[in-house]
Amino acid sequence: MRLARIPVSAGLVLFGLILQVSVFGRLQLPGATPDILLLVVVGLAMVYGPTGGCLVGFAGGLLADLAPPSDHAIGRYALVLCLMGYAAGLLRPDHGRQRSVAGSLVVVGAAAVASTLLYAMVGALVGDTAARHVGLGGLVISALLYDLLLAPFVVPLVMYLGRRFGRDPVAAADDDEGGSGLGTLARYRTTRDTSTGPSYKKRRVPGFARRP
């Protein structure tokens, strides 16, 4: 993961976590809580790819595990968001381009369902039976509904900010010029190969190739 992506990823994850804990967590909506952090991780993963999405998801999930009023085992949500970030990164468009609204909704919907089921599954393994009392079906449906309603407003903005402020200057110049991504070295070698090509070779003139 490039160093230029760390500040924008950290800022978006912290902002999403604050919104989720201090705003959406206090609304007392029926069923699940809208998962803004999941939407941030999915948006960044569709720009940065599976490795970047995995790292962002793990860091964001770990912060959510430590942030109050968290009452579950540390590392539980980090594992879920790590896997969701990796999976969403595998579905990113070419060169992190903006995905269509329908495509983004499909990715978000799949991530919402998978993350809810995986979170409940990990909770069952560690002895957390809260999902049984609430109803797993209700949690899945409500999580899917809330995340799909918020996705058109959150995911495109996150992808734009990730592309705009998370690009390495040399790599961005290569992409703009249609380069191969190898930076100055690639452009130098291309120029050198062109200048020493067949059109620049010395031609031998019959009778003057050798001097007595």
CB 70 within 8 A of CB 47: no
Within a 10 A sphere around the Cβ of 24, how many other Cβ atoms? 16
Q: What is the pTM (predicted TM-score) of this model?
A: 0.75
CATH number of 5-167: 1.10.1760.20
Residues of the chain with CATH 1.10.1760.20: 5-167
Helical spans, DSSP H, in the chain: 5-22, 36-66, 76-90, 101-125, 130-134, 136-165, 169-177, 184-195
Is the pLDDT reported for residue 180 higher than 50?
no
How crowded is the C-beta side of 117, counted as CA atoms within 13 Å?
10
Query: pLDDT at residue 125 above 90?
Result: no
Stretch 40-44: mean pLDDT = 95
pLDDT tens-digit series, residues 49-96: 999 999 999 999 999 999 887 777 788 899 999 999 999 999 877 654
Q: Which helix (H) or strand (E) holds 202?
A: none
